[in-house]
Amino acid sequence: MDVSLRRELGAHLRAARAVVTPQDVGLSGGGRRRAPGLRREEVAALAGVSVAWYTWLEQGRVTTSRQVVDAVCRALRMGPDAHRHALSLAGFLPTAPLAGQGRAAGSPESRKLIDSWRTTPSLLLDERLDIMAGNAAHHRLWGDPGDLPDERRNLLLWLASGPPGANPVADPEPLLRGLYEHFRTAVGHAPDDRRALDIIRLLHQERPDAAHWWQCRAVASFRPTTVEATNAAGTGPGTLTLTFSLLRPVADADVLLLTQTPDDSATAELLERLATAH
């Protein structure tokens, strides 16, 4: 097991330990604590391992069995996504390597698929959520991501800075947070990936007020998220309501499709009018 992955697993365990309270696991609390969350000895006792061994595991100094990883994850009350992430970091679940940078636009089939969705704004993304292509419906609503500088052509950076189009998202935080946790899930097994580190650095620069997010090690698969955006064009409804979803084509496994489907009839009618006008 790679040293950097052992360290990443240890950091993942420490982050999980910090958010579990003694009461969550049926303990009394044990008086004053210097730090939030469980103590190492409490996790070790709950997982059935020695304190020294658990300490070494958090410090990235040892490899261990799947049974121990499973026991520690149960002790830390990890959800399914966080548990799977721990297993992948420990080498017990296969992880696809991150594709090299500079991929042009996904497969022709995936590009044709999103281009056929006249009224569904959509993007092709790689695992780092870098934007590879967008369809005409997306361009009409938000602008062409191809106009962004190469290093900033990323979904997280696009949302953190505010979409460059004329329709600002009213509250991008839930969407941005959900996508960031998905990003962490995808890149966590490659802690030295240069592009992923650049994205996090740029997020710090773009939104220093959200530094606790970019340092957070929470992981989760992205769930569909509904947002409202201001319709600045002045025609149609004043608010657009869209549900953002991530899809993965079976035949293009290292590509993600971000779809934005209308959540009400007024938004659907506006997207249809925009498509017809062009």
Q: What is the pLDDT of residue 161?
A: 85
Q: What is the pLDDT of residue 166?
A: 62
Q: What is the pLDDT of residue 121?
A: 95
pLDDT digits (tens), the chain, 278 positions? 689 999 999 999 999 999 998 888 888 766 677 777 899 999 999 999 999 999 999 999 999 999 999 999 999 999 999 999 999 999 998 776 676 655 455 788 899 999 999 999 999 999 999 999 999 999 988 888 888 899 999 999 999 887 655 677 888 889 999 999 999 998 988 888 999 999 999 999 998 888 888 888 889 999 999 999 888 766 666 889 999 999 998 878 789 999 999 999 999 998 999 898 87
> Which residue is listed with tokens 């506006």?
270
CA 247 to chain centre: 13
- pTM for this model (two decimals): 0.85
Pick the CATH number of 108-277 from 2.60.40.1180, 3.40.50.1580, 3.40.47.10, 3.30.450.180: 3.30.450.180
**What residues contact 271, with CB distance under 8 A and at least 6 apart?**
119, 120, 121, 137, 141, 262
Write down the domain spans for the chain: 3-89, 108-277
Of the candidates 46, 49, 51, 43, the residue with the CA atom closest to the CA atom of residue 14: 43
The domain 3-89 having CATH identifier 3.40.50.2300: the answer here is: no
Q: What is the pLDDT of residue 164?
A: 58
